A and B are shown apart, each in its own frame.
Chain A
């Protein structure tokens, strides 16, 4: 997708972090922006920054785990902004708990937001994007944890690997519609995801204690979200399937490849 001026980008979790950065980056290209977020103040503040760039902004309080609310959000986007050309399924949360100590609510919340939220975004917007026949692009925020295994974030891995697989399938199925797909797979970015428990709904166990240690690590070494968003823009332009930002994980991807390939040899050995 090359031509952004006057078109519409939708960003879930657009009030803060990577979502805010993508919203501002696409606004700077002349796009109108619809953001949804569970944090009204954050959404309003980002919308003001968008309008200052001379484009339209729409905000809605939507929990992406609520399919009906996502559908109503899509209705508003189409009636008030007239379309959706770039869909950024971005809203994300995480817990930091070893696999055997996870509560049901930990699983349900993380998989609900990070994977089902992406699926509900597609269900709400994709049929209309196809019907409007103007092409487009779908950016889904995964993580380097959608490419390689780390520690203590098993539900996050389930969701983020799922988002990568989903995106790889979308790219195949939607090529004929001129709709591209990218999975954003960053390492640490200076966002509030370490504090995502602050907005944890009661239905998913309620707000939890902020893990200051995790957030401090993110703040210390995380990338600037605007740098990541700039690469997202470039990936949309060139229709790149994966967006990988942090060089230190490249050897881990090679190690994972080698481990999987060695598994073929392992299977052949016993045959």
Chain B
């Protein structure tokens, strides 16, 4: 997608972190921006920043796990901004616990936000984007944890959801080419965001707020990539229809190693099948 000025970008989790950076990057490209976030104040603040760039902005308090609220958000985007041309399914949370210690609500909350939230975003926007017939682009925020497990242990629910986001993105890229909708999946390592403190906004029905793990929060702040640098890559990926956005070169050896292990296991299985038949 080349022609961004005057079009509309929708960003879930747009109030902070990578979401905020994408809002501002797309606004800098001349786009109007719709922001959904669980923190109304954060969303309003980003909307002000977007308006200061001379674009229109809509800020709505939405929990992406609430399918009805997502539907109402899409209605407002279409009635107030007129379309959705770039959909960024970005809202994300994480907990850090080995699977032995995970409560049902740890699974439900992380998979609910990080995967079902993306699916609900697709349910409410994608059909309308395809019907509008003017093409577009979908950016789904996954993680390096959507490509391989083990970069950080104790995040099984996050890995599950983020792998799912990579899978649906790769499949969508195949399905949506005929309707001229591009797809990118963002797979960063550490970024200077508040995701490690996502428990601050954990709703009661998913177990309620939890104290942020200070060490993880600090690590993200001290060693994380700048969200603006990530968002710049996202804009380029939209323009060039780049499917995978691999931001952190230091994660590359682990990716190569994972595929090597898969191929070795593949050969082990094929040898066994041949022997048996």
Contact surface of A with B, Cβ cutoff 8 Å? 67, 98-102, 104, 107, 111, 115-116, 119, 122-123, 126-127, 130, 145-166, 168-174, 177, 227, 230-231, 234-235, 238, 240-245, 247, 250, 253-254, 256-257, 259-261, 263-264, 266-268, 270
Given contacts A104-B123, A234-B272, A263-B243, contact A165 B115 (CB under 8 A): no
Q: Which residue among B100, B162, B173, B263 has the maximum number of chain A CB atoms within 10 Å of its CB?
A: B100
Partner among B100, B115, B252, B270 whose Cβ is within 8 Å of the Cβ of A173: B100
Residues of chain A within 8 A (CB-CB) of B116 are 111
Which 6 pairs across A and B sit closest by C-beta, in order of nearness? A161-B167, A165-B163, A162-B164, A168-B149, A149-B170, A169-B156
Residues of chain A within 8 A (CB-CB) of B242 are 263, 266
Given contacts A100-B181, A174-B99, A267-B246, contact A161 B166 (CB under 8 A): yes
Given contacts A151-B175, A168-B150, contact A115 B99 (CB under 8 A): no
A160 CB to nearest chain B CB (Å): 7
Q: Are A253 and B245 in contact (CB under 8 A)?
A: no
How many interface residues does chain B have, given as a range? 35 or more
B189 CB to nearest chain A CB (Å): 12
B210 CB to nearest chain A CB (Å): 19
Residues of chain A within 8 A (CB-CB) of B168 are 154-155, 157-158, 161
- Interchain CA distance A171-B265 in the complex, whole Å: 15
A226 CB to nearest chain B CB (Å): 10
Given contacts A99-B171, A267-B246, contact A245 B269 (CB under 8 A): yes
Q: Are A169 and B273 in contact (CB under 8 A)?
A: no
- Interchain CA distance A231-B274 in the complex, whole Å: 11
Q: Are A146 and B107 in contact (CB under 8 A)?
A: no
Q: Are A149 and B148 in contact (CB under 8 A)?
A: no
Given contacts A99-B175, A146-B167, A149-B171, contact A162 B269 (CB under 8 A): no
Interface pairs (30), CB distance under 8 Å: A98-B175, A99-B126, A99-B172, A99-B175, A104-B67, A104-B123, A111-B116, A111-B119, A115-B111, A119-B107, A148-B170, A149-B170, A154-B168, A154-B175, A158-B165, A161-B163, A161-B164, A162-B115, A162-B167, A165-B146, A165-B159, A172-B149, A235-B269, A241-B261, A245-B269, A247-B270, A253-B266, A260-B147, A261-B252, A267-B233
Q: Are A107 and B167 in contact (CB under 8 A)?
A: no
Q: Are B163 and A164 in contact (CB under 8 A)?
A: yes
Residues of chain A within 8 A (CB-CB) of B244 are 259-260, 263
Q: Are B269 and A173 in contact (CB under 8 A)?
A: no
Partner among A148, A151, A158, A227 whose Cβ is within 8 Å of the Cβ of B115: A158
Residues of chain A within 8 A (CB-CB) of B265 are 240-244
In the complex, besides A127-B100, A160-B167, A162-B164, 16 extra interface pairs with C-beta distance below 8 angstroms are A101-B127, A111-B115, A115-B111, A145-B167, A155-B168, A165-B146, A165-B164, A169-B159, A173-B153, A231-B273, A242-B261, A243-B265, A250-B263, A253-B262, A253-B263, A268-B249
- Interchain CA distance A177-B129 in the complex, whole Å: 48
Q: Does B155 contact A (CB under 8 A)?
A: yes
Q: Are B100 and A244 in contact (CB under 8 A)?
A: no
Q: Does B81 contact A (CB under 8 A)?
A: no
Q: Are A173 and B99 in contact (CB under 8 A)?
A: yes
| Chain A minimum-CB-distance residue to B100 | A130
Residues of chain B within 8 A (CB-CB) of A123 are 104, 107
Interface flags, B156-199, vs A, CB<8A=1, else 0: 10011111111110111111100101000000000000000000
B193 CB to nearest chain A CB (Å): 18
Chain B positions 227-266 with a Cβ under 8 Å from a chain A Cβ: 232-233, 236, 240, 242-247, 249, 252, 255-256, 259, 261-263, 265-266
B199 CB to nearest chain A CB (Å): 19
Q: Which residue among A172, A227, A259 has the maximum number of chain B CB atoms within 10 Å of its CB?
A: A172
Given contacts A151-B174, A177-B100, contact A159 B126 (CB under 8 A): no
Q: Are B154 and A173 in contact (CB under 8 A)?
A: yes
Interface flags, B74-113, vs A, CB<8A=1, else 0: 0000000000000000000000001110001001000100
Q: Are A159 and B269 in contact (CB under 8 A)?
A: no
| Chain A minimum-CB-distance residue to B249 | A264
- Interchain CA distance A155-B171 in the complex, whole Å: 9
- Interchain CA distance A163-B276 in the complex, whole Å: 27
Partner among B119, B127, B148, B247 whose Cβ is within 8 Å of the Cβ of A100: B127
Q: Does B277 contact A (CB under 8 A)?
A: yes
Q: Does B220 contact A (CB under 8 A)?
A: no
| Chain A minimum-CB-distance residue to B128 | A100
- Interchain CA distance A154-B99 in the complex, whole Å: 27
Given contacts A149-B173, A165-B162, A230-B276, contact A107 B179 (CB under 8 A): no
Q: Are B273 and A157 in contact (CB under 8 A)?
A: no
Q: Are A147 and B99 in contact (CB under 8 A)?
A: no
Q: Are A244 and B170 in contact (CB under 8 A)?
A: no
Q: Are B159 and A168 in contact (CB under 8 A)?
A: yes
- Interchain CA distance A173-B247 in the complex, whole Å: 26
- Interchain CA distance A254-B58 in the complex, whole Å: 43
Q: Are B98 and A115 in contact (CB under 8 A)?
A: no
Q: Does B130 contact A (CB under 8 A)?
A: yes
